[in-house]
């Protein structure tokens, strides 16, 4: 099977949708952004045996790859529109491609994000996805908007994806029910798109938790020229994590483990009650975990005393 046949068979038929003037098959895709909106663009590359095992389930790899990208759109409050896929494959394995495209296109359909182009090459297995969303520029949730006195919140719960990685490495042995939860959080992170959209009017800065809460909150601090005081006792540690590891490890996983793809948000103190009531009304779990202070960096408190975490988050180099 050649390159063009492959594209046609596994990717092309899904390239039509709203705003797609020209999809897969020409030199460029032509896309129509809604009037008054800015294009929000983000790309992520997943390399076999760095980001996922090369013998991993292709359907899960694809699902996770797209979900993780969509999370970046959620973090700026953008609505997903289109994506491109650059894939490098060691060989044409039709079973692999079939599962991969099924996983990919299922998530694409769920979040109404259309595959409009890409690139296919031969080489070591790697996957790059570029997502395109739209957002009104003045309403984009950026990292630089936090001010001293803002409150820090996080959506959902934390630590499950990092605990899943420990379970995959056989370093912890959760019950089978807890294991299922941890794995679903790792392989199928939920991009918090709906939550971001509803909460956006009350948010001063936002980031999605990919490298770990402390590391990612650190990015907000850096870009906002502020510091953060994080109360580790308040972290919404996932129940399955609490049951699977001892308390001190659970807190470390929630604070420094990555891959949860929850949103860390800052909110002006005066907006607090509006923010919390909108969250409550829509059944969005948000937890107050600290506040923005002056200075630099993220300081942590545990049982009221300063606490140094042993791990600060994932870094590639
Ligand atoms: P070019 O040589 O102009 O870069 P290609 O031969 O790489 O074009 O691709 C032909 C068409 O197929 C283009 O529209 C491109 O966007 C699309 N395409 C290539 N690979 C993929 C892929 N993996 N997924 C989706 N679309 C793809
Ligand atoms: Mg090309």
From the CA of 276, how far away is ligand 1's center (Å)?
45
Residue closest by Cα to atom 20 of ligand 1: 119
pLDDT tens across 43-71, in order? 999 999 998 889 999 999 999 999 999 99
Residue 27 CB less than 6 A away from ligand 1: yes
| Residue from 24, 45, 105, 115 whose mutation best tests the ligand 1 pocket (most atoms within 8 A of CB) | 24
Cα-to-centroid distance, 306 and ligand 2 (Å)? 53
| Cβ atoms within 10 Å, residue 299 | 16
Convert the pLDDT of each residue in 194-241 to its tens digit. 999 999 999 999 999 999 999 999 999 999 999 999 999 999 999 999
Give the C-alpha distances (Å, rounded to integers) separating 259 from 95, 129, 207, 213, 313.
Answer: 28, 17, 13, 10, 10
Q: Residue 198 has what pLDDT?
A: 98
Q: Tell me which residues have their CB within 5 A of the ion that is ligand 2.
A: 119
The DSSP secondary-structure symbol of 10 reads H
Show Cβ contacts of residue 61 under 8 Å, excluding neighbours closer than 6 positions. Answer: 46, 52, 100, 103, 127
Q: For the segment 129-176, what is each residue's pLDDT rounded down to a tens digit?
A: 999 999 999 999 999 999 999 999 999 999 999 999 999 999 999 999
* Encoded tokens for 293: 């202070």
Could you tell me which residue, 185 or 313, shows the higher pLDDT?
Answer: 185
- Verify whether ligand 1 is closer than 6 Å to residue 205 (CB atom): no
Decide whether any atom of ligand 1 lies within 6 Å of the 118 Cβ: yes
- Ligand 1 binding pocket includes 23 (Cβ within 6 Å): no
Q: Give the distance (Å) from ligand 2 centre to CA of residue 239.
A: 46
Q: What is the 3-state secondary structure (H, E, C) of 71-105?
A: HHHHHHCCEEEEEEEEEEECCCCHHHHHHHHHHHH
According to the model, what pLDDT value does residue 310 have? Answer: 81
Which residue's C-alpha comes closest to atom 21 of ligand 1? Answer: 118
**What confidence tens digit (pLDDT) does each residue in 254-310 have?**
999 999 999 999 999 999 999 999 999 999 999 999 999 999 999 999 999 999 988
Q: Which of 22, 82, 119, 122 to mutate to test the pocket of ligand 1 (most atoms within 8 A of CB)?
A: 119
The alpha carbon of residue 30 and the mean position of all alpha carbons in its chain are separated, in whole angstroms, by 27
Query: Are residues 75 and 144 in contact, defined by beta-carbon separation less than 8 angstroms?
Result: no
**What pTM did the predictor assign?**
0.94
Torsion sign (Cα): 57, 83, 44, 296: negative
Is the separation of the CB atoms in 253 and 241 below 8 Å? yes
From the CA of 117, which ligand is nearest? 1
């Amino acid at each position: 099977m050649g390159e063009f046949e492959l594209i046609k068979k596994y990717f092309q038929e899904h390239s039509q949708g709203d705003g797609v003037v020209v999809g897969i098959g020409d030199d460029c895709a032509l896309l129509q952004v809604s009037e008054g909106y800015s294009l929000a663009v983000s790309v992520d590359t997943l390399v076999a045996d760095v980001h996922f095992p090369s013998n991993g389930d292709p359907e899960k790899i694809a699902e996770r790859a797209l979900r993780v990208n969509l999370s970046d759109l959620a973090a700026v409050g953008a609505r997903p529109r289109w994506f491109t896929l650059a894939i490098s494959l060691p060989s044409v394995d039709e079973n692999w491609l079939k599962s991969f495209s099924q996983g990919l296109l299922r998530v694409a359909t769920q979040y109404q994000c259309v595959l409009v182009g890409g690139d296919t090459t031969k080489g070591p297995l790697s996957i790059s996805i570029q997502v395109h969303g739209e957002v009104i520029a003045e309403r984009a949730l950026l990292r630089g908007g936090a001010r001293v006195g803002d409150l820090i919140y996080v959506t959902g719960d934390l630590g499950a994806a990092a605990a899943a990685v420990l379970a995959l490495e056989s370093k912890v042995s959760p019950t089978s029910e807890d294991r299922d939860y941890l794995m679903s959080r790792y392989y199928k992170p939920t991009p918090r798109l709906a939550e971001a959209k509803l909460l956006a009017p009350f948010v001063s800065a936002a980031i999605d938790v990919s490298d770990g809460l402390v590391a990612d909150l650190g990015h907000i601090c850096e870009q906002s020229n502020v510091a953060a005081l994080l109360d580790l006792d308040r972290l919404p540690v996932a129940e399955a994590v609490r049951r699977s590891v001892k308390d001190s490890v659970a807190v470390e996983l929630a604070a420094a483990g990555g891959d949860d793809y929850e949103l860390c948000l800052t909110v002006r103190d005066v907006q607090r009650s509006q923010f919390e009531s909108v969250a409550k009304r829509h059944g969005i779990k948000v937890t107050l975990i600290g506040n923005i202070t002056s200075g630099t960096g993220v300081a942590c408190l545990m049982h009221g005393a300063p606490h140094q975490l042993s791990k600060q988050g994932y870094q590639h180099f």
